[in-house]
């Protein structure tokens, strides 16, 4: 299990940032991803894996109205 934006989410073996965003259906193009407080560069989304128990933040910097 991992934490995503403060809520529990099932972890899977080999889960990358890209895979997590797909699973969460986070399609917004401007998301800042942090794993245990460390900002992950977009170029690493494909390769950077998430470990069981990690605290992940997917912050949508959405401007809105």
Q: How far is the CB of 47 from other proteins (least distance, A)?
A: 20
| Closer residue to other proteins (CB): 14 or 25 | 25
Quick one: 20 exposed, middle or buried, by C-beta within 10 A (0-12, 13-18, 19+)?
A: buried
Q: Which stretch binds other proteins (CB under 8 A): 10-18, 28-36, 43-51?
A: 28-36
Token couple for 50? 């998430």
- Give the contacts of 25 (CB within 8 A, at least 6 positions apart): none
53 near other proteins, rule: CB under 8 A: no
**Which residues form the interface with other proteins (CB under 8 A)?**
5-7, 25-28, 30, 32, 39, 57-65
């Amino acid at each position: 299990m991992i934490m995503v934006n403060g809520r529990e989410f099932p972890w899977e073996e080999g889960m990358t940032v890209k895979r997590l965003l797909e699973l969460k259906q986070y399609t917004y193009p401007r998301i800042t991803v942090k794993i245990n407080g460390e900002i992950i560069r977009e170029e690493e989304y494909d390769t950077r894996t998430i470990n069981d128990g990690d605290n992940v933040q997917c912050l949508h910097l959405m401007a809105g109205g």
